[in-house]
Amino acid sequence: MIYSILTILFSYFLGSIPTAVWIGKFFYKIDIREHGSGNSGSTNTFRVLGIPPGIIVLLIDILKGFFAVHLVYFKSYKPNTDAFITFSIVLGIVAVLGHIFPIYAKFKGGKGVATLLGVVFAIHTAAAFMTLPIFLIVLLISRYVSLSSMVSGIAFPILLIFFFETKALSLIIFSISISILLIITHKKNILRIINRTESKANLFNTKKK
């Protein structure tokens, strides 16, 4: 029991690493939360600091979720059992919550999309890969990163339930929950999309005329 609690705490501290905030402060002498959208995630890092730091933040945030889930292997669970899947999900959720409410950055973090992507890849790699083209198609059509994230997030439980015919109840609940979480964390983006004030991704690095 104590070991499980310690593992969960480690997952939270791992997820809490405020990659964008630290890179912004250490290398660019700015607080990323005071620029652009005010969000400390990879999208705002791309927007404010540029492509190289944006890629670094994106990759590290994804890896946070990926490695957090793999902490389950330090337990004695047999792979693919209900207990194994459930504890993997718990570790992943805690890591995402750590990203959204990081202890190292006064509990003001990002939306958790990149970290959640790492969690999803670790838990169900095939379904995660299938959400990528959905994300890219929506992004190419709308140029809204936020909308692309929400649509691909909603597609995840649909793929699990109807395409992969997943029977694990904990995995089904998890997939539906993350869809709801993505919508909740993007509520301001939804309002901006409705009002047509949401920033669009400059996909091909073209200058605005």
**What are the pLDDT digits (tens) for 173-198?**
999 998 998 898 889 889 999 999 98
Q: Which residue has the tokens 């946070």?
A: 64
What is the C-alpha to C-alpha distance for residues 97 and 102, in angstroms, rounded to an integer? Answer: 8
What integer pLDDT is reported at residue 139 of this predicted model? 92
Instruction: Look at residues 190, 209, 42 and name the one whose alpha carbon lies nearest to residue 116.
Output: 42
What integer pLDDT is reported at residue 81 of this predicted model? 84
Instruction: Look at residues 142, 124, 110, 89 and name the one whose alpha carbon lies nearest to residue 20.
Output: 110
Instruction: Look at residues 121, 120, 123 and name the one whose alpha carbon lies nearest to residue 72.
Output: 123
What integer pLDDT is reported at residue 108 of this predicted model? 85
What integer pLDDT is reported at residue 207 of this predicted model? 42
User: Which residue ranges in the chain fall short of pLDDT 50?
Assistant: 206-209
What is the C-alpha to C-alpha distance for residues 67 and 55, in angstroms, rounded to an integer? Answer: 18
- C-alpha R_g of the chain: 17
- Please indicate, yes or no, whether the overall pTM of this predicted structure exceeds 0.95: no
What is the C-alpha to C-alpha distance for residues 52 and 161, in angstroms, rounded to an integer? Answer: 37
Q: For 15-70, give the DSSP string.
A: HT--HHHHHHHHHHSS-GGGSTTS--SHHHHHHHH-HHHHHHHHHHHHHHHHHHHG
Residues comprising the chain, all counted: 209
